[in-house]
Amino acid sequence: MKKILEQSVKYLFTASGFITSFIILLIIFFLFSEGAGLFRNHIIDDGYVVALNKSNPVNTLSANQIKEIFDEDITNWQEAGGEDEPIQVFRLSDLLSIYSEEELGSEYEHAGSKIKETILQNEGIIAFVPKSLLTDTEGIKTMPDQTIPVKDVLAGTEWFPTATPSPLFGILPLLAGTLWVSFFAILIALPFGLCVSIYMSEIASEKVRNVLKPVIELLNGIPSVVYGFFGLIVIVPFLQQLFNLPVGESGLAGSLVLAIMALPTIVTVAEDAMRNCPRSMREASLALGANKWQTIYKVVIPYSISGITSGIVLGIGRAVGETMAVLMVTGNAAVMPTSILEPLRTIPATIAAELGEAPTGEAHYQSLFLLGVILFFITLFINLSVEYISSRKR
């Protein structure tokens, strides 16, 4: 009976491990398949075309060029590789300013022919119209229906997934914002965390340590939204007054909040590593004439460096993956950061802010899954670093 029970428990644990691993692989497969779907979408919104007069020598336009033309940042075809001629932007809504309702028809049945007529009459025109209305393309040139290039996403500097007629999915501003905030968070948290862990391990009395350790570990249990409220109410106004900023929401506010959140991880792991340093090594150092501080930085820290580094890397992982607190205090500006005092946006904050409003299966939706893939690789690199550092021989 005992043997049957042991075998049953063994099979139960094996099945649980197999099911868990299978579910994790399914999640990863779903994440990658949805993210890769972005590159099967077209740079122009589905169901629409960008049309030019056939006499226009321009044959291709990138997504960024199309956006700049319709935003009127580019106003001459020479800037897009064409002739020196002003650009005339045309949208479907412009029909009513050119033709009367009688000319278009009661059911707008003549809209297609009027669109064609408008394009043929204007050599410098660029029209963004429904494909269903432009059935007759004689004398009209439509831009190639190319898919979103990988380089425009991975090396793009503009994140504007709702732009028309051509959305932009450049991830560099989000990636830079994530690394920027995380770097400064660790830069702030590291010296404080190391000092506190040294104090608790080597200097504080047993009574003080027994009080401090539970308090610091309790900080890990506070919800991130509470840290976000604290940053929004205390840190943001303080930074706005200190640096005379137009708005206090900035990368520095996010870094300070993340530094506070990463501190418990760094302190706990580093303190445990230093406490594991054998007493005999401390006594040997003191017996050779070293004082307490020399023993700490020449014996204890070198011996515990593997655990200390693991704590630092885990702190970085906490900072990189944080969502709500960063979303509340960084300003959410999807632009390339040039200063830590400017608003920016991180990858987790972008996913949290936009996933609810992105249409399922559309390019915007798939681009957010691609951001999840990038975040997956960042955290995978961090976890592999922890494993490598922790497994090194002292």
In a domain, 269, yes or no: yes
Joined tokens for residue 279: 């007493």
In a domain, 107, yes or no: yes
Same structural domain, 202 and 122: no
Which domain CATH number covers 321? 1.10.3720.10
What span, in angstroms and rounded, lies between the C-alpha atoms of 193 and 264?
8
What span, in angstroms and rounded, lies between the C-alpha atoms of 32 and 66?
29
Joined tokens for residue 345: 């946006």
In a domain, 142, yes or no: yes
Residues facing 53 on adjacent strands: 140
Q: How many domains does the chain have?
A: 2
Same structural domain, 235 and 378: yes
- Per-residue model confidence as pLDDT tens digits over 9-52: 888 888 888 898 888 889 889 889 989 889 998 888 888 889 99
In a domain, 358, yes or no: yes
Same structural domain, 226 and 319: yes
- Residue that is last in its domain, among 93, 112, 147: 147
- Domain encompassing residue 232: 172-391
Band (pLDDT 50/70/90 cuts) for residue 170 is: very high
User: CA–CA distance from 300 to each of 12, 189, 290 (Å)?
Assistant: 44, 21, 12
The angle at the Cα of 73, spanning 366 to 251, to the nearest 5 degrees, equals: 55
Same structural domain, 192 and 82: no
Same structural domain, 230 and 373: yes
Same structural domain, 223 and 301: yes
Same structural domain, 310 and 198: yes
- Per-residue model confidence as pLDDT tens digits over 283-304: 888 888 888 888 888 888 888 8
Band (pLDDT 50/70/90 cuts) for residue 172 is: very high
| Residue-level pLDDT at 394 | 47
Signed CA dihedral, 90, 92, 93, 95: sign only: positive
Same structural domain, 239 and 277: yes
Exposure string over 243-276, b if 16+ CB within 10 A, otherwise e: eebeebbbbbbbbbbbbbbbbbbbbbbbbbbbee
